[in-house]
Amino acid sequence: MKDIKLGIKLVGEIDGKFFVPSYQRGYRWSNEEVLRLLEDILSNGQNNYCLQPIVVKKINDKYELIDGQQRLTTLFLIYSYLNKASGNFIDKAKFSLEYQTRKDSAEFLLSLDSSIKEKNIDYFFIYQAYEKIEEWFTTKEPKRQVTMTNFNKYFEENIKVIWYEVNDSIDPIALFTRLNIGKIELTSAELVKAMFLSSASDKIVGTKNTDLQKQLDRQKREEISLQWDNIEKELHDEKLWFFLTNNSVYNYQTRIDLLLDMIVKKPINTKEKYYTFFAFDKMRDNNDLLVIWRKIQNSFLVLKDWFDSHELYHKIGYLIASDTKTLNEIFEISLNKTKDEFLDKLNEMVKESVRSDIDYGEMSYENATHYKSLKKLLLLFNVESVRQNGEQTQWFPFDKFKFDQDKKNSWSLEHIHAQQSEGMKTQEVWKEWLSLHLNSIKSLNKVDNLAIQIEIEKAIKSDRIDRVEFEGLQTKVFDLLSTKGSIEYLHSISNLALLNTSDNAALNNSTFDVKRNEIIKMDKKGKFIPFCTKMVFLKYYTPSESSQLHFWGSSDRAAYVEAMNNVLSEFLTEKIQLSNEEVMNDEN
């Protein structure tokens, strides 16, 4: 990254002699890629538009073209067409190109002689691209001349490239391999870093042209490079990363991109790949580079302060994890506020996130809108329970909640005690469900259950069972492992928890006792289980005199909802109310 020359050039300003080295393959753009470039330029109009970076290395009076040869060659061909079709009214490109493996390539590009287009594969693709450019402009009749004039104007005023010039110490083959073979393109973060480390960055210290100043420049660049790498390293802490974002690490080539995007308020849906780099490049029009660097450092320190504060960590973490606010939005809100003012605003946003015109006790799992609201409330219940528990010794693990060990976000809102058969359609799933419940039936230790045990064991061992037989056994199992009375509570918040049962249909449709045993197994293996989910299946909320080990009854549901009301009292406008059916005493 040392001694890089970095800038932005209009296409019309690209000048010089370029050669494509022998370690690269030749020109291979298809008609589709050529057309895409033409259409992009036309549709963009007079808006600023930037193509991918042109990466070069200066060798004597020529530039070795390390990356960007397909784009630069196509731009050269467009210029050639504009010049010829306008009768030399529009100038040719100011730059020239040659392929090191094709000795007469420079001449061919100038003449575009169709008689030798099949001399080699490079000439074939180059001429095919030129014909497609010619054909495309022809389709613009009767406004072809206007389109041509506009294209030339866009090249002079709107269409840009990122000019990335490396020094003699860079191995061009290694850099080419990284950028092309692995398809790892330059990121905004790399370009911003290069902006600070470029030897041409006179603004770093503020004065120029003294031997002492050059030494300071070099020292400062090395210091910034080290600090940059330290920030990147810290962002590789999964706890910090998933506190700040819901995005998988695979969404970023370098994690510092998250910080830089935040600083420039990068829009979520922008199509501009290098939006962040352009924003920082614009900053240096009016700012010393050291001022910009301090802004990056200070912004990162703010995020670290949030991460280290027990209260801010949980409230900001919840707002981001629940998709209520993005990191960018929260950072913007924090600006120019005291810590108390900022905390008040966070509390206000958390409260607003669970505000509802419908009592949570009346919401149903089966309603898509209700489902989202219930899931958000239960997430807040888990986060706040951890925050309020103990002497700030526990921290909700957003990294484990958002992505499991396989890097899959598999947490969902599930029934604590199920009584349905969604997704249970195969022999394998039916038998698995029966196997899961057999142990629970046995654990009831009642002589009357012997007959159903024998039926289940026979069904499991049989080659095939039909749906009617399975559903009959399922009904008997539910009768034994469910409390009597109303089932209207099944889809209400009193019977819902955050569970990580993935796509296991048999387990998802299981009774409380089966899920309880599975939760205990998961806990013994060290798998993450949300705090409140674990408390539910350990009967933590239920008074001991009302506890029924194998069942999830009305007293359990009432205690569970009461715990929500107590923990979330600061944020709920009104207490969650249970229906009359739910407060009835169950009969075993």
Tell me how far apart the alpha carbons of residues 117 and 130 are, in angstroms, rounded to a whole number: 11
Which tokens belong to 154? 């866009």
Amino acid (1-letter code) at residue 537:
F
What one-character DSSP code corresponds to residue 90?
S
User: What pLDDT does residue 103 have?
Assistant: 84
- Please report where in the chains the tokens 């994690």 appear, as a residue: 255
Q: Which 3 state secondary structure label does DSSP give 226?
A: helix
Tell me how far apart the alpha carbons of residues 69 and 24 are, in angstroms, rounded to a whole number: 9
> Residues 486, 581: contact at Cβ < 8 Å?
yes
> Residues 118, 105: contact at Cβ < 8 Å?
no
Which residues are registered as beta bridge partners of 57?
Answer: 64, 166
Cis status, amide bond into 21, omega within 30 of 0: no
> Residues 314, 386: contact at Cβ < 8 Å?
yes
How many helices and strands (H and E) does the chain possess? 24, 9
> Residues 99, 69: contact at Cβ < 8 Å?
no
Q: Nearest 5°: phi and psi at 8?
A: -120, 130
| Element holding 166 (H helix, E strand) | strand 159-166
End-to-end CA distance of the chain: 73
Q: Nearest 5°: phi and psi at 79?
A: -60, -40
Tell me how far apart the alpha carbons of residues 571 and 501 are, in angstroms, rounded to a whole number: 29
How do the residues of the chain divide into helix, strand and coil, expressed in percent and rounded to 5? 55, 10, 35
Tell me the CA distances in angstroms from 299 to 213, 260, 303, one per residue in order: 28, 9, 7
CA dihedral of 552, 556, 561, 565, whole degrees rounded to 10: -150
> Residues 53, 4: contact at Cβ < 8 Å?
no
Query: Can you give 521-585 as a three-state secondary structure string?
Result: HHHHCCCCCCHHHHHHHCCCCCCHHHCCCCCCCHHHHHHHHHHHHHHCCCCCCCCCCCCCCCCCC
Tell me how far apart the alpha carbons of residues 555 and 586 are, in angstroms, rounded to a whole number: 8
* Residues 6 or more apart whose Cβ sits within 8 Å of residue 455: 473, 476
What one-character DSSP code corresponds to residue 337?
-
What one-character DSSP code corresponds to residue 95?
E
Question: How are beta strands 62-67 and 54-59 bridged, if at all?
Answer: antiparallel
> Residues 217, 199: contact at Cβ < 8 Å?
yes
User: What pLDDT does residue 180 have?
Assistant: 63
Q: Which 3 state secondary structure label does DSSP give 85?
A: helix
Nearest to 445 by CA among 543, 553, 549: 549
Q: Which 3 state secondary structure label does DSSP give 20?
A: strand
Give the DSSP per-residue string, 438-489.
HHHHHHT--GGGHHHHHHHHHHHHSS---HHHHHHHHHHHHHHHS-SS--GG
Which tokens belong to 400? 């484990």
Which tokens belong to 143? 């406004």
pLDDT tens digits for the chain (588 residues)? 446 788 889 999 999 999 999 888 889 999 999 999 999 999 989 988 888 889 999 999 999 999 899 999 999 999 999 999 999 999 999 999 999 888 889 999 999 999 999 888 889 999 999 999 999 999 999 999 999 999 999 999 999 998 988 887 777 777 777 676 555 567 888 888 888 877 544 433 333 344 443 443 778 888 898 999 999 999 999 999 999 999 876 677 789 999 999 999 999 888 788 889 889 988 887 888 889 999 999 999 999 999 999 999 999 999 999 999 999 999 999 999 999 999 999 999 999 999 999 999 999 999 999 999 999 999 999 999 999 987 678 999 999 888 764 455 567 888 888 766 666 777 877 887 788 778 777 777 666 677 888 888 888 888 888 888 888 887 887 777 776 655 668 889 999 999 875 656 657 778 888 888 888 888 888 888 899 999 998 889 988 765 677 778 888 888 999 999 999 999 999 999 886 555 554 544
Tell me the CA distances in angstroms from 96 to 69, 76, 99, 315, 540, one per residue in order: 12, 8, 11, 58, 76
Tell me the CA distances in angstroms from 9 to 94, 342, 584, one per residue in order: 13, 42, 75
Q: Which 3 state secondary structure label does DSSP give 414?
A: strand
User: What pLDDT does residue 506 have?
Assistant: 58
User: What pLDDT does residue 464 have?
Assistant: 87
User: What pLDDT does residue 210 have?
Assistant: 43
Tell me the CA distances in angstroms from 310 to 314, 341, 344, 408, 457, one per residue in order: 6, 17, 15, 27, 52
Tell me the CA distances in angstroms from 253 to 31, 141, 188, 191, one per residue in order: 30, 44, 10, 13
For the entire predicted model, the pTM comes to: 0.75
Tell me how far apart the alpha carbons of residues 567 and 473 are, in angstroms, rounded to a whole number: 40
Cα three-residue angle 371-372-373, rounded to 5 degrees = 90
User: What pLDDT does residue 584 have?
Assistant: 53
Taking the CA atoms of 100, 104, 105 and 110 in sequence, report the sign of the dihedral they define. Answer: positive
In this structure, which long-range contacts are made by residues 457-466, counting pairs with CB atoms below 8 Å and at least 24 apart in sequence? 459/431, 459/434, 460/431, 460/434, 460/435, 464/427, 465/427, 465/430, 465/431
